Amino acid sequence: MATPKEMRNQMLAEKLIKNFERRNMEAYFCKTAAEATEKALELIGEGSSVTWGGSMTIRDMGLTKRLIEGNYDVFDRDTCTDPEKLQEGIRRAFFMDWYLASPNAISEDGQLVNIDGTGNRVAAITFGPKNVLFIASLNKVCQDLESAVKRARSTASPINAARFDIKTPCRMDGTCHDCNAPGCICSYIHITRNSGVKNRIKIILTEEELGF
């Protein structure tokens, strides 16, 4: 028998899937990270070219490892140490079959919020790769767009600043100061309210908590 939390999550996921569909996006709900990994591999298909935008979620769930070890044409920006090759790989992302990411927040009505310092991630989400696959756990879902933007700025960005040890004001006290400091990771606040190409954007929601 489902717990009250599981019942609530199931209802929330069903509502989100419908709201994503209304916005030309295709969505799925998986209970665990392991199930989400299998679903992602089923969608991507062997032989595809794949890259990603520095997401903890997709790395922690083991998806990047499976892609690197499998029959895929992968560019892994996280292990690329040559600055020239890194820039080349980031640009190549626009011509690839799949771009993987995890949103910083989601509103219950199905809008995705992504914050970016240099802009390559939000650019690839908007246009370029044939498919964009987001993986996100339900802990990133907020009641409305305003609270989703707040979550992205007050939770995800300070954690990312700490993760990359960028000397922004939020790195010092964990709170956003609406800065324009060198290395600011909030240059672009991007909202996906609709997929311009039907089903180009896909979302796998998970009940298991992933990322931050």
Label each residue of 5-74 as H, E or C.
HHHHHHHHHHHHHHHHHHCCCEEEEECCHHHHHHHHHHHHCCCCEEEECCCHHHHHCCHHHHHHHCCCEE
Q: Does 158 bind ligand SF4 (CB under 6 A)?
A: yes
186 binds ligand SF4 (CB under 6 A): yes
List of residues 6+ apart from 7 with CB closer than 8 A: none
State the minimum distance, in angstroms, from the CB of residue 23 to ligand SF4. 26
Kindly tell me which of 12 and 189 has the beta carbon lying closer to ligand SF4: 189
Cross-sheet strand order for the sheet of 105-107: 141-142, 105-107, 112-116, 188-192
| Residue 153 engages ligand SF4 in binding (rule: CB under 6 A) | yes
Give whichever of 3 and 180 is closer to ligand SF4, judged by the CB atom: 180
Cα 211 to chain centroid distance, Å, stands at 10
Among 179, 188, 191, 208, binds ligand SF4 (CB under 6 A): 179
Given 81, 82, 178, 182, the residue binding ligand SF4 (CB under 6 A): 178
Q: How far apart are CA 150 and CA 152, in angstroms?
A: 5
Residue with smaller CB distance to ligand SF4, 176 or 205: 176
Q: Is 110 in the site for ligand SF4 (CB under 6 A)?
A: no
Q: Which positions touch ligand SF4 (CB under 6 A)?
A: 153, 157-158, 161, 168-170, 176-179, 181, 184-186
